[in-house]
Structure 1
Amino acid sequence: MRALSIAATGMAAQQTNVEVIANNVANINTTGFKRARAEFTDLLYETERAAGTPATDDETVIPEGNTVGLGVRTAAIRNLHMQGTLARTGNKYDLALNGIGWFQVQGEANEIVYTRDGAFNKNQNGQLVTLDGKLVIPEITVPDTASDIIVNQAGQVYAVIGATGTQQLLGQLAIANFPNETGLDPLGGNLFRQTTASGDAIIGNPNDPGYASIQQGYLENSNVDPVKEITDLISAQRAYEMNSKVISAADDMYNVITKDIR
């Protein structure tokens, strides 16, 4: 009985849907987090009589076929890279991207990875790093004599030196854009890796046309909408229950058949 296997695929799909929603809700306060959405597609169809085949020996054809779908499968889990709201922190090392772009970070084995989480700090050498100690690329080193740090919207980093307030240019931050952001590979820790699907990183300066500007003293909030997630969760739960009822109904029908045979 095909209904059993079809409904089972529906239950598996909704379970995946709930897992994606759960991950979104769990990261509702994660800086720079991008919510995900499960995408589904129907499975192959079993055709008993195809539309357009001859009805009889004459030239008439069947206007409608007889096909039965075999269920559903998860096609993709898409990360939705809409920008979250910017929250003021007042921390001079917190940097938010207002627009399209990614900070570059030095990952494992000197691999360049990408993040929207601009909660940066200094390490023991004065280098600008992430909260996990990964170097921000290009490298920026803040001298011990700096009394303040200024990052403008174009990504130029200045240190205020001494009591006179002399500004010393420390370097220029660069950010990356991608032809297909949804193709980036999430690594955890608010980091993403370039893939063949994402295309090669296109490096540019902040505030250039097509690139985000930098807002010092701000962080980007998660783009998770709690109301939408709860609504989606209820919808997924109801769909799961409906598929389970189909399995129960199909099982009852199967029992009727087996009892009649006995």
Structure 2
Amino acid sequence: PTRSELDLAIDGGGFFELEDASGSRFYSRAGRFRLDSQGYMAAPNGMRLTSGVQIPADASGLRISEGGEVSAVLAGSDERVALGSIVLVTFASLAGLESHGDNLLRATPDAGSPMSQVAGEEGAGLLRQGYLEMANVDMIDEMTGLVLAQRAYQLNARVLQASDQILETINNLRR
């Protein structure tokens, strides 16, 4: 949890679709967004969300629902106003996505064409406002498990050595 209004985590298999200044499309699960100079939601690298959600400078109380609907309270009003909707993208084959660094992927013909979906439908996933996706590996747990496995291996090796010594002693008694 980050508690930032513009941080979004995807709870499911979808991707955010981003567009650079030249119009090239990229896909990412990194949901740390900010507002650019025109009020559009953009990634830290400046790429805008293709959903085209523009948030006025006088907006407050920004909310993004699990289904991607963006709403806020505008200055001079007490009512919440819908500003747009964030669409997620899925692919037929994730293996066909090509890494471009900085948590960016590009679709290749092997991935199939991007399928735009409303968040929460057909495996696209739900949006979680105020959260960021983390790696699914906890390094401390993994290192602890590795040390435990190493110790277990060492103990088993000692048991085998002790067994070999006992068998050698028994063989020497017969002579």
State the TM bucket, normalised to the shorter chain.
0.7 to 0.9
Q: 1:176 aligns with which of 89, 93, 100?
A: 89
Show structure 1 runs of 5+ residues with no match: 1-87, 232-262
* Deviation sequence 1:186-235 (CA, Å, 0-9, x none): 0011100001221211111101132201000000002334255895xxxx
Distance 2:82 2:8 in 1: 17
**Aligned residue in 1 for 2:115:** 202
- 2:100 aligned with 1:187, yes or no? yes
**Aligned residue in 2 for 1:144:** 57
Change (3 A) 1:89 1:148: same
Alignment of 1:24-39 (within 5 A): none
Distance 1:213 1:219 in 2: 13
- 2:36 aligned with 1:123, yes or no? yes
Distance 1:108 1:195 in 2: 20
Query: RMSD of the alignment, in Å?
Result: 2.1
Work out the number of aligned pairs and report it.
146
> Displacement of 1:137 after TM fit?
1.1
Show structure 2 runs of 5+ residues with no match: 147-175
- 2:101 aligned with 1:165, yes or no? no
Distance 1:180 1:95 in 2: 24
Q: Post-superposition, which runs of at least 4 consecutive aligned residues in structure 1 deviate over 3 A?
A: 227-231
> Displacement of 1:95 after TM fit?
0.6
**Percent identity (aligned):** 28
User: What is the one-letter code of the residue matched to 1:138?
Assistant: S
**Aligned residue in 2 for 1:212:** 125
Q: 1:106 aligns with which of 15, 19, 42?
A: 19
TM-score (norm 1): 0.52
> Displacement of 1:182 after TM fit?
2.2
Any conservation in 2 of the 1:150–1:160 contact (CA below 8 Å)? Answer: no
Q: 1:133 aligns with which of 46, 52, 55?
A: 46
